[in-house]
Amino acid sequence: MTEVQTVLLSIWQETLRIDDIKLNDNFFYLGCNSLDTIRTVDKINSILGTRLFVKDIYRYPSLEELAKYLQSQSSQNVQENYIDYQKELK
């Protein structure tokens, strides 16, 4: 699992209150609603320093697809923010 996938998994688990989420699970099939989507996008942007939009979750609804998209957008920024996020967890 990549670093971005790990962060996304943690955010999805927290938002949806589901522990067993797989890389190919669809965010919306897991029971997400529009408010969950907004909260999730906000948290992703806050932690990873990205510019993700709600529409991007609809385009890339699986954890794996979304992680690939984020990594392609700003890999250096995502990497730096992931390291900061890991420090906060310790």
Q: What is the pLDDT of residues 26-59, one digit of tens each?
A: 999 999 889 999 999 999 999 888 889 999 999 9
Query: Any idea of the CA torsion for 23, 24, 28, 30, to the nearest 10 degrees?
Result: -70
Query: Taking the model in full, what pTM does it have?
Result: 0.78
Please give the C-alpha separations between residue 64 and each of 9, 87, 88, 90, in angstroms, as whole numbers: 10, 24, 24, 25
